[in-house]
Structure 1
Amino acid sequence: MRLRVIGIGPGGARQITLEAVDAIAGTDVFLFLDKGSRTSELTAVRQQMLDAHARPGHQVVAVPDPPRDRDPADYEAEVRRWHTARVDALDAAIDEFLPDGGTAAFLVWGDPALYDSTLRITDRLAERRSGLHVEVIPGVTSASSLTAAHGIVAHGVGEPVLTTTGRRLATTPDGADLNQIVMLDSALAFRETAHPDDTVYWGAYLGTEHEILMSGRVGDVAEEIASARSQARERLGWIMDIYLLQRAR
Structure 2
Amino acid sequence: MIDLTLVGIGTGNPQHLTLQAVEALNGLELILIPNKGAGKDDLAGLRRDICKRVIKSPGPAIVEFDLPQRDPATPSYRQRVDDWHDAIAEVWQKTIDQHLPRGGKVGFLVWGDPSLYDSTMRIAARLQARTEVSLRVIPGITSIQALTASHAIPLNEIGDPVTITTGRQLREAGWPDSADTLVIMLDGDCSFQSIDPEGVQIWWAAYAGMENEISLSGALHEAGDEIIKVRAKARAEHGWIMDIYILRRPARR
TM range (shorter): over 0.9
The aligned amino acid for 1:67 is Q
Q: Which runs of no fewer than 5 residues in structure 2 stay unpaired? A: none
CA contact (8 A) 1:194 1:218 kept: no
Cα distance change of structure 1 residues 222 and 71 upon mapping to structure 2, 3 Å threshold: farther
1:134-213 mapped onto 2 (5 Å cutoff): 134-170=135-171, 171-172=173-174, 174-213=176-215
1:79-98 mapped onto 2 (5 Å cutoff): 79-98=81-100
- Partner Cα separation in structure 2 for residue 84 and residue 230 of structure 1: 32
SS at match of 2:49: helix
- Please report the RMSD computed on the Cα atoms of aligned residues, expressed in angstroms: 1.5
Q: CA deviation at 1:11?
A: 1.6
CA contact (8 A) 1:38 1:237 kept: yes
Q: CA deviation at 1:174?
A: 4.9
Q: CA deviation at 1:194?
A: 3.9
Query: Which residue is 1:116 aligned to?
Result: 118
Aligned residues: 248
Query: Which residue is 2:237 aligned to?
Result: 235
Q: Which runs of no fewer than 5 residues in structure 1 stay unpaired? A: none
- Partner Cα separation in structure 1 for residue 176 and residue 90 of structure 2: 42
Output one character per residue of 1:119-143: Cα deviation in whole Å (capped at 9) or x when no partner: 001111111112x211000010000
The aligned amino acid for 2:170 is L
Q: CA deviation at 1:101?
A: 4.8
SS at match of 1:226: helix
The aligned amino acid for 1:144 is Q
User: In the alignment, does 2:9 pair up with 1:8?
Assistant: yes
- Partner Cα separation in structure 2 for residue 71 and residue 144 of structure 1: 36
- Percentage of identical aligned residues: 39
Cα distance change of structure 1 residues 125 and 81 upon mapping to structure 2, 3 Å threshold: same
Query: Which residue is 2:78 aligned to?
Result: 76
Q: CA deviation at 1:31?
A: 0.8
Output one character per residue of 1:145-204: Cα deviation in whole Å (capped at 9) or x when no partner: 100110001111110010000000142565324000000001111122142320000000
The aligned amino acid for 1:197 is G
- Partner Cα separation in structure 2 for residue 76 and residue 12 of structure 1: 32
- Partner Cα separation in structure 2 for residue 159 and residue 172 of structure 1: 19
- Partner Cα separation in structure 1 for residue 91 and residue 196 of structure 2: 41
Q: CA deviation at 1:223?
A: 0.7
Q: CA deviation at 1:10?
A: 1.1
The aligned amino acid for 1:214 is L
CA contact (8 A) 2:8 2:112 kept: yes
Match of 1:66 among 58, 65, 68: 68
- Partner Cα separation in structure 1 for residue 73 and residue 244 of structure 2: 21
Q: CA deviation at 1:73?
A: 2.3
Greater mean deviation of Cα atoms: 206-215 or 97-106: 97-106
Q: CA deviation at 1:233?
A: 0.1
SS at match of 1:14: helix
Q: CA deviation at 1:40?
A: 1.7
Greater mean deviation of Cα atoms: 32-41 or 220-229: 32-41
User: In the alignment, does 2:16 pair up with 1:33?
Assistant: no
SS at match of 2:24: helix
The alignment's TM-score, normalised by the length of structure 1, stands at 0.95
CA contact (8 A) 2:160 2:179 kept: no
- Partner Cα separation in structure 2 for residue 12 and residue 185 of structure 1: 22
Cα distance change of structure 1 residues 161 and 81 upon mapping to structure 2, 3 Å threshold: same
Query: Which residue is 2:127 aligned to?
Result: 125
CA contact (8 A) 1:183 1:243 kept: yes
Q: CA deviation at 1:100?
A: 2.9
Greater mean deviation of Cα atoms: 45-54 or 119-128: 45-54
SS at match of 1:157: coil
- Partner Cα separation in structure 2 for residue 134 and residue 187 of structure 1: 35
